[in-house]
Structures are given as C-alpha cells and as structure tokens.
Chain A
Amino acid sequence: MINLVKKRLRRTMMFLNAQKPGLIKDPYIYKPDSIILDLEDAVAENQKDAARFSLYHALKEIDYRGCERVVRINGLDTPYWLEDIRCAVAGGCDSIRIPKTECPKEIHRVEEEIIKAEKDFGIPEGRTLIMAAIESARGVMKALDICEASDRLFGIALSGGDYTKDLQTHITGTGIELMGARQNLIIAARAAKVQCFDTVYTNLDDMEGFRKDVENIHLMGFDGKSIVNPRQIPVVHDIFTPSGKDIIFAEKVVKEIEEKKKLGIGVFTVDGKMIDIAFYDGARRTIELAKASGVYKGDL
C-alpha cells in the first residue's frame, strides 16, 4: 500500500528532545512542516525509558495540528531501537528516522519491526513511513540502494556532524566538506524519486551564514533542511517558498504549454524566454510547492 503522504511538503524538519515537555508540548506554533522527536543523541543513556514514556504520551495526547511527527530512534547497534519503534508506532507517529544508515538491510530490519508493531497496536499497515539518515562515507556511497530499499521510505537526510568525522574533517561553515555528500545524496534521491534533506546548521548566532547555507541547498535541489531552533523556520520557508514572481511565471508556462499543445505549437516564448515542453514539470512543481506552502491563490 502506498502512503499518500510520502510526498508531503517537508521544508523544515525540527529536532526536539522527546524528553522535554516544554519543547514538545506545542512546537507546531512555529509551523515547521515536520518535527523530529529525538530519542537518540539528545537523550542520555540512562534516560531512554523516560524519554519513550514522554514520547508516547505526547504522540497520544497532543494535537500537533497537521505537523508531521517523525521519531528518531536509536541506532541499530544499540539495545534501544526495538523498543523505540514499538513505542513510536504505538503512539501513532507518522514516521521513523533511522540514524547512521549504511545499507538497505537496515531499512528492511526497521520495516519488519514497524510491521510487527503496527499489527500489535492496531495501526493500519503501511501508515508508518521511514526516512534514513546518512551519516558516513559508506552510507553516502550506498545512497541509491538505501533510497530504493522500501516503499515506506520517503526520503534520506544528510547528517553532517558524524559524516564529516568519518571523512576526517569537520564542519567549516563553508559547505566545502559537505559538497560531495550533498551532491551524491540529492542525485540518489532524485533517481529513486524520494525526498532529500540537508543537515542541521548549529551556529544560531550566525543567521546570515544559515541563510546562505539554505540558499545553497535550495539551489542544489534539496527538499528541505533539518533544523535545531524555531528561529530557523522562517528563513527556510522564505527561501523554499516560491516568490510571487516565480508563481506567476510558472502559471503562465503551464497555461501556455497546455494551450499551445492544442494548437500543435512546440516552442514559444513567455515573458521573452524560450519555453518548450521540458519546462512543464518544473513549472508544475513550482505551483504545487506554492499550493503546499499556502501561498497559491490561482486556479491551477
């Protein structure tokens, strides 16, 4: 069964420590597209069970008002991940984020556990999606296989901290150290027709640097970015939401192509730019993105 929300808008995916009630009680007011309730790095080893308790009740009790609820489980090399999945699925999360993914087999193992949990807790089969975080050189090299490992997988995300360690470098703020991985992941994701998300930007004092980073990954083709603070949301949404000018142009392109097609005309100009059928999908995507972002007022 194909889950229809696989392709939903995910410009911003905000990490929140699942153990902190103050953080998880109402993050939707900042309007992120998705939240990632973290059971992994943000939670101390001896607090994993407490975090699961808080996660389960949050998922059960809080109306996240349309905001997608992803749960980052602990790594498959830890004793925690099986219970993490049961707890997240029982709570009714929308998706599981697998950390440190390096091969399709890991996706399969997680999927098997999700299927079991869905059955055990009466969750409709196929409801719980999967996303995979790529955090190593091996993961980057296996990206296409990972993307194609499951129908439930809606996307992959680069996790820059661990990845740069594996690469024996560090986050520089320039993006140089991430260039290869970013390029590789976006190509793999597009080849597999899944989404692709960029790594976090942790320097909250450098909002200008953050903006540049987001502009770059937007141009590279990413669908969105993992974020660590609600202050980052308006910046990402601003960059990822088509401008009024873009929307008007895309609207003209779509309408003209449909019109000219009827007349048997293949190539023509819109606002002085040469347009042919190859522009159709891109223009459609702009309209769809504008619709999903809530800024489209037209009739397409």
Chain B
Amino acid sequence: MINAVGREIPEEILKQTGKEPFKGNHYFDGYEYKKDGPSTRCVINSQGSKLVENIHEVLVKCGIQDGMTLGFHHHFRDGDYVVNMVMEEIHNMGIKDLTICASSLGKAHDKLVEYIEDGTITNIQSSGVRGKIGRAISEGKLRGLAVMRSHGGRVRAIETGEVRIDIAFIGSPTCDDYGNCRGIGGKSDCGVLSYSMVDADYADKVVAVTDCLVPFPNFPAHISMTKVDYVVVVDQIGNPDKIATGAAKPTTDMRKLMMADYCTQFVVNTPYFKDGFSYQTGVGGASIASTISLAKIMKERNIRMKFGVGGLTKPMCDLLENGQVDALLDTQDFDLNAVESVINPKHFRISAGEYADPFNKGAVVNKLDFVILAALEVDVNFNCNVVVGSDGIITGAQGGHPDTAAGAKCTIVIAPLLQGRIPAICTDVTTVTTPGESIDVVITDYGIAINPRRQDLIDSMKNVDLPFKTIEELRDIAYSIVGEPERVQFDDKVVGIIESRDGTIMDVVRKIKNFEFSGE
C-alpha cells in the first residue's frame, strides 16, 4: 500500500505489525485511548532493601526469561557501559529471543552484534542505530524487525501498550539505596534522565544501575524511588570522556558558517522572530554557529527568547547565563557546560513525553517557533532521511527530528548540498523518516528552498537578500556537479520499519544487496 509520503509499504508488513501506513501528521489528532499500566510489586515492609549485589542477581530477581523486552536509555551516548554490561550477563545466562527497546543505540554497543547473531537479541526498537548494529540489521542478521521510532514515538508506543517493557535498566550517575536517581553529582554525569522517565513509569521492573551510591535522600530526584524496584552498584556505568565532552570549539569551516548565516538571516526575517520566541537546535557545526550568530542579533535588537529546548549545548546555556532566554527545557545534554547548567533554577528537566510524545495532551514541541535540524538527504517533496545512509546502511537515528519538525511553526533543515560525492538534495530519499509536510525550509551552501506549502514564509522573504531557489533547482545543481547516483540495490526482504511518531509506518528498510554493476 502506498502511504502519504508515497512509499510502498508491503501488505505483509502491515499484517505482521498490525500497523497502518502513514496518513499524514494529524491523522490521530483527537484520538482517545486508555493508557497502559505496569504491574507493580508493592514495598510496604520498611525492613527490606532494594540494593542488589550485581547484574546477574538483579536479572534473577526480575525473573529474566526468553522473549522479554528490556528498556535502556542513551544519555551516556558513546560512553555507555550499561547496555553491554547487562546484555553480556544475559548472554552468559543463555537467555534468548530478547527485544531491546532503547531510546537509542550507538557505536558503544557494537558488541551487541554477537548477540544478534546468536539469537540472544532478536528484535531491536530504537530511535536509530549507528555503527556495527546498523550494518548487521541492514545485512539481515536480526531475526525480527528493527523498529526505528522517534523519541516522542517511543513514549507513545510504551504509553499505549504497543510495547511493554519487562525490565528497564536506568543508568544513573547518582542513586541512593532506595532508588532515587539523578543525572548529576557522580563520576559519569549526563545531566538529565529524560528518556528513561517513561521506562520508570511503565516498565514492570525498574532497575537503577549506578557507580555512585549516595546517602538517602538523593533529592531532588530525577527518577523517583517510588518507581524503582532494585538498585545495583557497579564499578563504572560509562566513560565520562565520551558521555559529555568539553564544548565543541565553534566551527571555522566557512561552508558551515555560510549556511549558519543563511539560517540566522532566515530566522530573523520570519514573523516568528519577536520577543518571546522559542527555539531548538541540534549539535551540528552549522546549528551551533547559527545559535551563536542569532544571540548577537537578539542582543542588538533587544529580543529575548522565551524558552529554548534541547538536546542542549554550550551556546544555548550561554543564552541562559546571559539572560537572553527565560528558560531552558532539557531532554539531553551534549557537553559539560550543558550538564553543569542543569543546576540553574531556570534550566528545567523535562521527560521525553513532555518533550515530544504525540499521544499525550500536548507536548513542548507543539509550542516551538523554530527548530533547526540536519538531514542526510532531503528530496524534492521535502521528505527527510536521517536514518539510512545513501549507501543503504542504517547509520543514524530519528531522535526528535520528526517530533520537533511536526510541532514547530518553522522547521529549518540545514544540509550541505553534497555529502562528499553524494547529493543531499535528491529526487527520492533512500528512506523517509520525516515527512515533507513537516519541513518548511531547506538551507544548503548553494541556496535556500522554502516548501511551497508555506506561501506565508515565501511572502515574508520577498525583500530579503538571500539565495532563494526551488528545491528542484537545488537538486539539479547537485546532480550537475556529481551526477545522479544510481539507486542503492536492496533485497526484497524488509529488515526494519521507520515508524512515524503516531505509530503508523513511514517507510520500510530493506536488506542491502551487494552492488552489481549494470550495463556491458
């Protein structure tokens, strides 16, 4: 069946998953449902202890068995030790057929490929996967279907009961013996624990894993003891050097600076740029440069930001320090400055649900004026791909891309026209992850294209001196330089689905086929 972004979703996949094809961003608006609930084992006896000796013991206490679903968060990014630690123990116990439901998986988890190959892990649900797991899935090694869902989409899937997490493991930089978790104060600080909050609310068993046990009460708790069954203390939950590094030096790459400048000029010329606006940006060089140059203009014009959302980095936290933004709403911290800023009373921790869940009664993304995003590919219908590389291998993550893009009044995607020899602006993206209806503007080093759906933005830019082009013109320039690439060759087998934030199917990911040269 062809979905609303023109992608063919095979009938057997619709049948297998029980899902509908994507029908547009607002298809489920107003939908009513009953939320799922976890089973809860009460703790009434005050003499008991939640402390458990080690991972093995906690797995036994939680009743680990074949076929379970395990929840993990990715606040430790490439420095995470928790996923591998837990999975190694499970593997040693001979447990099979597990589903990993993580907020994201990255290069830190390359080791999981072994467990995919031997059937310990048969299903993966994640915002995306990088590194060797991505390749393994694309090569068809995962027995079940990989489900790629956005941060908001993951909360929705758990809340609706589409996914039931049997055991959630929450790596916690500090924790007391009763399970009050915080993202700060330890040796592996990640700032906030936003992605794991839904796990704590909905998993049947919740295990806090820490390398810094602190005296009770570890308050104010980021995850409350009322939701935690067990606490395990281990030597190290992550590598601090890879969890949050020092703030990246602002880019000096002129190409990125140029795109950042285009972005800033675009932003300040929209009607949304006025006192009290809201803003979210990513961690790419151009996004960060754009935030820095925007801050200058805000100062010159005496315009303040009402709130900033993130994925936070130093430039956003600087806005708070300089009194240029009233509040930061934080779901993840990308550098030490952001982690340290968490103690600022105007720096608010929010859950992934508050941030982006389309199935609650209104998320923060709906209140965004601007979001600045990146993309691997953008097609002439403004559909974006942020998960599958142009080589057909799964290599990225949706993150909050589809959530913020859908919610913000002005969604800007910055992408260099060419990624090496690959055109980033193309006729058809390899895989659709964010629908074109969510994308308002695409900024490249060769020019800016406004989505024709946004005639209001086109009108507001009438007298603005920026290199505006149509998206087709940008594609044509790209093709004129590097040629139109031959399409990646895929097998028929579907190895994963790109789930829309509302749970419908945006696209499928097929098994990669070794390239065969066509022609003579």
Closest-CB distance, B129 to chain A (whole angstroms): 29
B252 touches A30 (CB 8 A): no
The minimal Cβ–Cβ distance linking A296 to chain B, given in whole angstroms, is 14
Complex contact B258–A29 (CB within 8 A): yes
A204-B252, A231-B252 known; A26+B257 contact, CB < 8 A: no
For the complex, is A25 an interface residue (Cβ under 8 Å from B)?
A: yes
Q: Are B254 and A231 in contact (CB under 8 A)?
A: yes
Cβ of A29: which chain B residues have Cβ within 8 Å of it? Answer: 255, 258, 445-446
Which chain A residues lie closer than 8 Å to B466 at the CB level?
none
Q: Which B residues are in CB contact (< 8 Å) with A230?
A: 254-255
Q: Which residues of A contact B252 (CB under 8 A)?
A: 204, 231
Q: Are A26 and B254 in contact (CB under 8 A)?
A: no
> How does the 8 Å CB contact mask read for A225-237 relative to B, with 1 for contact and 0 for none?
0000111010000
Beta-carbon contacts under 8 Å, B219-261 to A? 252, 254-255, 257-258
Question: Which residues of B sit under 8 angstroms from A63, Cβ to Cβ?
Answer: 480
User: Does B43 have its Cβ within 8 Å of any Cβ on chain A?
Assistant: no
Task: Name the CB-closest residue of B to A63.
Answer: B480
Q: Which residue of B lies closest to A204 (CB)?
A: B252
A25 to B419, CA, bound (A): 13
List residues of B (437-452) whose CB comes within 8 Å of A's CBs. 445-446
Closest B residue by C-beta to A229: B254
Number of interface residues of B (CB under 8 A): 10
Least CB distance from A57 to B in Å reads 13
Chain A residue contacts of B446, Cβ below 8 A: 29
Q: How far apart sit A29 and B448, CA to CA, in the bound complex (Å)?
A: 13
B481 touches A30 (CB 8 A): no
Q: How far is the CA of A230 from the CA of B254 in the complex (A)?
A: 6
Complex contacts, B254 vs chain A, CB 8 Å: 30, 229-231, 233
Contacts of B445 on A, CB cut-off 8 Å? 26, 29
* Interface size class of chain A, counting residues whose CB lies under 8 Å from the partner chain: 10 to 19
Q: Mark B250-288, 1 if CB is under 8 A from A, else 0.
A: 001011011000000000000000000000000000000
Residue interface mask B138-178, A partner, CB < 8 A = 1: 00000000000000000000000000000000000000000
Q: Give min CB distance, B379 to chain A, whole Å.
A: 22
B481–A26 CB distance below 8 A: yes
Number of contacts between A and B (CB, 8 Å)? 20
Give min CB distance, A209 to chain B, whole Å: 16
What residue in chain A is nearest B446 (Cβ atoms)? A29
Complex-state Cα separation, A229 to B255, whole angstroms: 11
Contact with A along B433-468 (1 / 0, CB 8 A): 000000000000110000000000000000000000
Chain B residue numbers with a CB within 8 Å of A25 are: 481
Q: Output the residue of A29, A230, A231, A233 with the most chain B CB within 10 A.
A: A29
Inter-chain contacts of B258 with A (CB < 8 A)? 29-30
Contacts of A62 in B (CB 8 A): 481
What 0/1 pattern do residues 216 to 243 of A give for CB contact below 8 A with B? Answer: 0000000000000111010000000000
Chain A proximity of B467: nearest CB distance (Å): 9
The distance in angstroms between the C-alpha atoms of A194 and B7, with both chains bound, is 61
| C-alpha gap A233/B254 in the complex (Å) | 10
B235 CB, min distance to chain A CBs, angstroms: 42
CB-CB < 8 A to A204: which residues of B? 252
Given contacts A26-B481, A29-B446, contact A231 B255 (CB under 8 A): no
- In chain A, residues 41-66, which have Cβ atoms closer than 8 Å to a Cβ of chain B? 62-63
A294: shortest Cβ distance to chain B, in Å? 10
Contact, CB under 8 Å: B257 / A231: yes
Shortest beta-carbon distance, A116 to chain B, in Å?
33
Within 8 A of B (CB), among A91-114: none
Give bound CA distance, A30 to B253, whole Å: 11
Q: Write out the residue numbers on chain B whose beta carbons fall within 8 Å of the beta carbon of A233.
A: 254
Q: Report Cα–Cα, A257/B254, bound state, in Å.
A: 43
Q: How far is the CA of A25 from the CA of B257 in the complex (A)?
A: 18
Distance in angstroms between the alpha carbons of A233 and B258 in the assembled complex: 11
A230 CA to B446 CA, complexed, in Å:
15
Bound Cα distance from A29 to B257, whole angstroms: 12
Contact residues in B for A26 (Cβ distance below 8 Å): 418, 445, 481
For A26, give the chain B residue with the smallest CB separation. B481
- For B408-428 the 0/1 string (1 means CB < 8 A from A) is 000000000010000000000
**Smallest Cβ distance from B469 to chain A, in angstroms?**
13
- Chain B positions 472 through 511: 1 when the CB is less than 8 Å from some CB of chain A, otherwise 0: 0000000011000000000000000000000000000000
B249 to chain A, nearest CB (A): 11
Name A30-84 residues within 8 Å CB distance of B. Answer: 30, 62-63
Give complex CA distance A300, B255 in Å. 35
A233 to B252, CA, bound (A): 13
Q: Which residues of A contact B418 (CB under 8 A)?
A: 26
Closest partner residue, chain A, to B261 (CB atom): A234
Contacts of B255 in A (CB 8 A): 29, 230
Per-residue interface assignment for chain A, residues 165 to 193, with 1 indicating a CB less than 8 Å from any chain B CB and 0 otherwise: 00000000000000000000000000000
Q: How far is the CB of B250 from chain A (nearest CB, A)?
A: 12
Interchain CA distance A62-B481 in the complex, whole Å: 8
Name the CB-closest residue of B to A205. B252
Roughly how many angstroms separate A63 CA and B476 CA in the complex, as a whole number?
Answer: 14
Question: B14 → chain A, closest Cβ, in Å?
Answer: 44
Alpha-carbon distance between A25 and B481 when the two chains are bound, in angstroms: 8
Q: Which residue of A lies closest to B254 (CB)?
A: A230
Q: Please, how many angstroms separate the alpha-carbon atoms of A26 and B420 in the complex?
A: 12
Q: Which of B254, B257, B418, B446 has the most CB of A within 10 A?
A: B254
A229: chain B residues at CB < 8 Å are: 254
Give A26 to B255 CA distance when docked, in angstroms. 11
User: Closest approach, in angstroms, between the C-beta of A12 and any C-beta of chain B?
Assistant: 12
Residues of B within 8 A of A231 (CB): 252, 254, 257
Once the chains are docked, how many angstroms separate the CA of A183 from the CA of B254? 32
User: Roughly how many angstroms separate A231 CA and B257 CA in the complex, as a whole number?
Assistant: 9
> Which residues of chain A come closer than 8 Å to B257, judged between CB atoms?
231
| Interface set, chain A 235-275, CB cutoff 8 A to B | none
> What's the minimum C-beta distance from B422 to chain A, rounded to whole angstroms?
13
- Residue-wise, chain A 283-297 has the 8 Å CB interface mask toward B (1 for contact) of 000000000000000
A-B contact pairs, 20 of them (CB 8 A): A25-B481, A26-B418, A26-B445, A26-B481, A29-B255, A29-B258, A29-B445, A29-B446, A30-B254, A30-B258, A62-B481, A63-B480, A204-B252, A229-B254, A230-B254, A230-B255, A231-B252, A231-B254, A231-B257, A233-B254
Give me the interface of B with A, judged by CB distance under 8 Å.
252, 254-255, 257-258, 418, 445-446, 480-481
Besides A26-B445, A63-B480, A229-B254, 17 more A-B contacts (Cβ < 8 Å) are A25-B481, A26-B418, A26-B481, A29-B255, A29-B258, A29-B445, A29-B446, A30-B254, A30-B258, A62-B481, A204-B252, A230-B254, A230-B255, A231-B252, A231-B254, A231-B257, A233-B254
By Cβ-Cβ distance, the 3 closest A-B pairs, closest first, are: A230-B254, A231-B254, A29-B445
